Amino acid sequence: MEKNLLEIKDLTLNFYTYEGVVRALDRVNLEVKEGETLGLVGETGCGKSVTGFSILDLVPPPGYIEGGKVIFERKDKRYNLLDQKDSFLRTIRGKDISMIFQDPRSALNPVYTIGDQITEVLLLHRRVEFCKQVLSRKDLTRYERSLYMKMLKSPSSLTVRILSAIPILNRFKHKIEALARAEAIKMFKTMRIPDPERFLRSYPHELSGGMAQRAVIGIALACGPKILLADEPTTNLDVTIQLQILNLIKELKKDFHSSIIYVTHDMGVIAEVCDRVAVMYAGNVVEVADVFELFKNPLHPYTKALLESIPRAGHSFKSIEGTVPSLINPPGGCRFHDRCPYAMEVCIRVKPTLVELKEGHFVHCHLYSKGSE
Partner 1 sequence: MSKKSATSGKSRWQEFKASRAPMWKEIKFTLNRLKKSPLSILGIAIIVFFIILALIAPLIAPPVPGYDEYMMPKEKPYGSTPKPPSPEHLFGTTPYQYDIFYGCIWGTRTAFRIGVFVVFFGLLFGLIIGGISGYYGGIIDEVMMRGTDIIFAFPGLLLSMALVVSLPSQITIIDYGSIRWIVTLTSLDKVLISFILIGWPNYARVIRGEVLRVKNEVYVEAAKAIGCSDFRIMIKHILPNSIYPIIIISSLDIGGIVLAAAALGFLGIGSPEGYSDWGRLISLSRDWILPSNADPLGYWYLFIIPGIFIFMFVLGWNLLGDAFRDILDPTMRRR
Partner 2 sequence: MSRLIEVRRVKQYYPILGGVLRRKVADVKAVDNVDIEIEKGECFGLVGESGCGKTSLAKTILRLLKPTAGHIYYDVPSDVLERITKLEAPEVARDMELEKIQSQLKVEKISVSELEKRQRQLKADKTRSQELKKIQSQLKAIKARSAELEKRQRQLKADTTQSHELEKIQVQLKADKASILELEKRRDQLKADKTILEESKKIDVQLKDVKAKSAELEKRRRKLKAQKIKSSELEKLRNQYDIGRHHGKKLNKMRRKIQIVYQDPTTSLDPRMLVKDIVAEPLTVQKIAKGTKVQEKVIDILNKVGLSGSHLYRYAHEFSGGQRQRIAVARALVLNPEFVILDEPTSAVDVSVRAQLLNLLQDLQKEFDLTYLFVSHDLSVVECISNRVAVMYLGKIVEVGETAQIYKNPLHPYTVALFSSVPIPDPTARRERAVLSGDVPSPVNPPSGCRFHPRCSKAMDVCKREEPTLVNVGDGHKVACHLINA
Residue 90 binds to partner 2 (criterion: CB under 8 A): no
Task: Tell the smallest beta-carbon distance from residue 107 to partner 1 (Å).
Answer: 19
Residue 263-282 contact track with partner 2, rule CB under 8 A, x = bound: --xxxxxxxx----------
Which does residue 246 bind out of partner 1, partner 2, none, counting CB within 5 to 8 angstroms by kind? partner 2
Q: x/- contact string, 8-47, with partner 1 (CB under 8 A)?
A: ---------xxx----------------------------
Nearest approach, Cβ of 329 to partner 1 (angstroms)?
A: 17
Cβ–Cβ under 8 Å, residues 151 and 162? no
The residue type found at 151 is M
Instruction: Give 18 or 141: the residue with its C-beta nearer to partner 1.
Output: 18
Is 60 one of the binding residues for partner 1 (CB under 8 A)? no
According to the binding rule CB under 8 A, does residue 343 interact with partner 2? no
Which one-letter amino acid corresponds to residue 23? R
Q: Which residues contact 17 (CB under 8 A, 6 or more apart)?
A: 62, 328
Task: Say whether 52 sits in a helix, a strand or coil.
Answer: helix
198 binds partner 2 (CB under 8 A): no
Among 132, 153, 189, 312, binds partner 2 (CB under 8 A): 312
Helix, strand or coil, per DSSP, at residue 155: coil
Asked whether position 360 contacts partner 2 by CB under 8 A, the answer is no
- Dihedral pair phi/psi, residue 155, rounded to 5°: -65, -25
Long-range contacts for 155-161 (Cβ within 8 Å, ≥24 apart)?
155/127
Site for partner 1 in 112-151 (CB under 8 A): none
Give the residue, chosen from 4, 133, 190, 244, that forms a contact with partner 2 under the rule CB under 8 A.
Answer: 244
List the single partner that 82 binds among partner 1, partner 2, none, CB under 5 to 8 Å by kind. Answer: none
Name 276's bridge partners.
38, 290
Q: Which residues of 119-155 are buried (b: 16+ CB within 10 A; e: fewer)?
A: bbbbbbbbeeebbeebeeeeebeeebeebbeebeeee
Cα–Cα distances (Å) from 331 to 29, 43, 50, 285, in that order, read 20, 17, 20, 15
17 binds, among partner 2, partner 1, none (CB under 5 to 8 A by kind): partner 1
Pairing status of strand 276-281 against strand 284-290: antiparallel
Cβ at position 25, least distance to partner 1 in Å = 20
Can residue 338 be called a binding residue for partner 2 (CB under 8 A)?
Answer: no
Shortest distance, position 352 Cβ to partner 2, whole Å: 20
Q: What is the DSSP string of 263-287?
A: EES-HHHHHHH-SEEEEEETTEEEE
Total of residues contacting partner 2 (CB under 8 A): 40
| Residue 3, phi then psi, degrees to nearest 5 | -80, 165
Which residues lie near partner 1 (CB under 8 A)?
17-19
Which residues lie near partner 2 (CB under 8 A)?
43-44, 208-211, 238-244, 246-247, 265-272, 291-292, 295, 305-307, 309-313, 317-320, 323-324
